[in-house]
Structure 1
Amino acid sequence: MDQFHDIRPYNDAEVAEVLSNLVETPDFINTIIGFRFAQWPKFLQAPLAFCVKLVLKRQISKISNVHDFQMIVANYMERMIKTTTSSVEYRGIEKLDKETGYLFLSNHRDIAMDPAFVNYGLYLAGLNTVRIAIGDNLLRRPFVSDLMRLNKSFIVKRSANGIREMMAAFGQLSGYITQSLTQDQCNIWIAQKEGRAKDGLDQTDPAIIKMFFMSQKKEKVSFSTAMANLKVVPVSISYEYDPCAFDKANELHQKSTTGNYEKAEFEDIDSIKNGIVGQKGKVVVTFGDVIKEGFETAEEFVEEVDRQIITNYAIQPTHQAALALQQGLPSTDSAFSGYLDSCPEDLRETVLAMYANPLKQQKKYLNV
């Protein structure tokens, strides 16, 4: 019996059927039309749907396994990088071994692009792409779940209710991650905490570390040995510009002024779209060092993850400009000043803090 069938990515044998079902899913087709042909008149929706389905059927006829699907994704990544970034730089990737499965524990800025940039770097370096952890809160539309699982995503059941159901979900997730790394020799990507760091402060949630340990704890493996078995590599992802910055600032501003923020039903899907198509400037992905034995508690392990993520974070001109403006000094980056001018006035201080915080956090760690 496949104990992970409801959370694992799709395997090669499942790809053709899932793709065939997707093409016949009106919600999927209408989403593509809304994304690619938003300015077209409504009365053309039916013929557009017919044409989109024809094109998709032709494309999926060439896809018979997960690798084929990921090659299509790689083509879209190349196009996205050309149109929305000034450059993408990978640091520390040369330290990774092609024969080893790593647990990439990453800071989190963008729902889709964080793992996508990690994946693309591994692909370019000839390493195995990652199995991606994704919360079920993002999968309210079934076609999104199918697309993610085709792209080697596995599901984190954040919506589990009650202690017993949550513990069962965490146990299943822990077992899947451990098996992926130690038996399958696959790479895993997971964020250091639930949700994006909207304020620019990167901090690992100890509950994530405790979840990693659960499956090996049952086998009486010590915490230090168990975590070393997982070969955790902290990853720092830095964007010169965050395409979702103003939306994040609006959420933070509303929470701070009213104490509440009500998400729209498909707001996360909009964030995914905006993160993909929005301008990012320079992107830097830094792979840290494998964390070995010597950490006896989740809290000690968290300290090491945070140290690597924060000190390895690539400081961009936008971070320096934001801190200068916070300190009442002239902006060190005229482009950032123009960008800030386009921000609603009541959100500017929040946006400034978002960009300045990674630099302030790094200075604190480095005592500079």
Structure 2
Amino acid sequence: MMDEFEAIRPYADAEVPAVMARLFADREFLDILARFRFPRLAGPMGWMLKPLIAQRLRREFAGIHSVDTLQARIEMYLDRTIERATDGITYSGLENLQPGRAYLFIANHRDIVMDPAFVNYALYQTKMRTPRIAIGDNLLQRPFVSDLMRLNKSFIVRRSITGRREKLAAYQVLSAYINHSIRNDGESIWIAQAEGRAKDGDDRTDSAILKMLHMSRKDEPFADSLATLRPTPVSISYEYDPCDQAKARELYIRATTGSYSKAPGEDDTSIALGITGYKGRVHVSFGKPVTEVPEDAKQLAVDIDQQILGDYRLFPVNYLAYRIWNDRDPEITIPDLGDLFTPAEIERAEAEWGKRLAGCPSVQQPYLIQQYATPVRNQYRLKAGLSL
């Protein structure tokens, strides 16, 4: 059965040793590790460092013959990243999930690697199976990145195809794979609610993704087909986004020139910054699986958004940004910061927010403010019973 999914599926346990051997011999991969671990020495001493790193990796990962044991080993590195780059991570809603059940986690999308990594981490800590992760092929420009991601339960979404017929065929396979994973393999799936990160802070589910999930099950009504997948909204909030300046710059260029083209290696920079950059506090909220699925994809998107936007953890910085936002919403009332947070929390946030604003060119500042302010508007519109 797996043959039709050969080109997109994650690696199976039997493939782990061979793929790891290939990775530890990949010059580009070793070069990036050398630069990451020893930034000053990597240039002049790279020729000496790379064989040493390869040797150490082979030693450290010797005896790993399955994806689960590999994830257990990676978890140690994730712990370290969380310690260095965050002020702690919290979770809510895990009681909505039943161990042994497979879910379709539909999540807001802010960071390329860390969004699914934090979801994995939460489930791993509670001894639940980690999901298979949807990742766009635009991020897999180099063979070693593809190997790394597919070792870690990622499957490939072919976003770079342009022909309409090829696109349809690719979505058909993707739809069949996601359904097969949940229904037949009993393995959960993580997928972003829309293509690409929400760079303006406006988290909205694209109903086209929900329709894609039904493509391979046209013999069943939409509502029944989707209900079998147990769609579960997931909302992730970073107090601070390490890529916020880059996102503001992109939004500004788009708004002023009408388009934006990425520089070579820009995705790599976003990935590295997203992993290592300071995030403040991080909260992951697991919503309630949608059991009453409507017959209409657009209505299901609205239902999912209500949970994602309603469960989003707002931090002091979000309110600080909202206060100076030009697009404040006249229909909603926002409580005073002092009623929500301690003076120490507010003071810390003001210092960090001031630093971020100061580091952002004034013409780009509105787009930085928008990223942090939009979740406040969305959540309070929901609370007031207004349309989103």
Q: How far apart, CA to CA, are the structure 2 residues paired with 1:77 and 1:54?
A: 22
What amino acid sits opposite 2:307 in the alignment?
A: Q
CA apart distance, 1:249 = 0.6
2:225 corresponds in structure 1 to 226
- The residue correspondences of 1:321-336 to structure 2 (distance < 5 A) are 321-326=320-325, 333-335=349-351, 336=353
Which residue is equivalent to 1:354?
A: 371
Partner of 1:310: 309
1:238–1:283 contact (8 Å) kept in structure 2: yes
In the alignment, the residues of structure 2 paired with residue 349 and residue 300 of structure 1 have an alpha-carbon distance, to the nearest angstrom, of: 31
Deviation at 1:294, TM superposition (A): 4.1
Match of 2:60 in 1: 59
**Residue matched to 1:87:** 88
The CA distance in 1 between the partners of 2:236 and 2:107, in whole Å, is 7
CA contact (8 A) 1:86 1:280 kept: yes
Q: Alpha-carbon deviation of 1:174? A: 0.5
Question: C-alpha separation between the residues in 1 aligned to 2:259 and 2:209?
Answer: 26
For 1:257-336, list aligned pairs within 5 A.
257-326=256-325, 333-335=349-351, 336=353
The secondary structure found in structure 1 opposite 2:87 is strand
For residues 219-260 of structure 1, give each alpha carbon's deviation from its aligned partner in whole angstroms, at most 9, with x where no partner exists.
x11111011000000011000000000001100011111222
Equivalent residue, structure 2, for 1:22: 23
Contact 1:111–1:275 (CA<8 Å) still a contact in 2? yes
C-alpha displacement of 1:76: 0.9
Question: Once the two structures are superposed, what CA deviation does each residue of 1:49-108 show, in whole Å capped at 9, x if it has no partner?
Answer: 111111111122131111121112111110011111112110101221011100000000
Identity value in percent = 45
> Unaligned regions of 5+ residues in structure 2, if any?
329-333, 338-345
- Corresponding residue of 2:153: 152
TM-score scaled by structure 2?
Answer: 0.91
Corresponding residue for residue 363 of structure 1:
380
Using the TM superposition, give the Cα deviation of residue 132 of structure 1 relative to its aligned residue in structure 2, in angstroms: 0.2
- Residue 347 of structure 1: CA displacement? 1.9
Structure 1 outlier segments of 4+, above 4 Å: 327-332
In the TM superposition, what is the alpha-carbon distance from 1:307 to its structure 2 partner? 1.1
| 1:339 shift after superposition | 2.9
CA deviation vs aligned residue, 1:299-351 (integer Å, no higher than 9, x gap): 11111111111111111111011011226999954222233223233322210
Aligned length: 366
In 2, are the aligned partners of 1:225 and 1:293 still within 8 Å (CA)?
no
Distance 1:61 1:338 in 2: 44
- Root-mean-square deviation (CA, aligned residues, Å) is 1.7
Counterpart secondary structure, 2:133: strand
How far residue 117 of structure 1 moved from its aligned partner, in angstroms, is: 0.4
Match of 1:344 among 340, 348, 361: 361
The farther-off stretch of 265-274 and 227-236 is: 265-274
Residue 41 of structure 1 deviates from its aligned partner by 5.9
Gaps of 5+ in 1: none
Question: Bigger shift: 293-302 or 116-125?
Answer: 293-302
Using a 3 Å threshold, how does the CA distance of structure 1 residues 186 and 280 change in structure 2: closer, same or farther? same
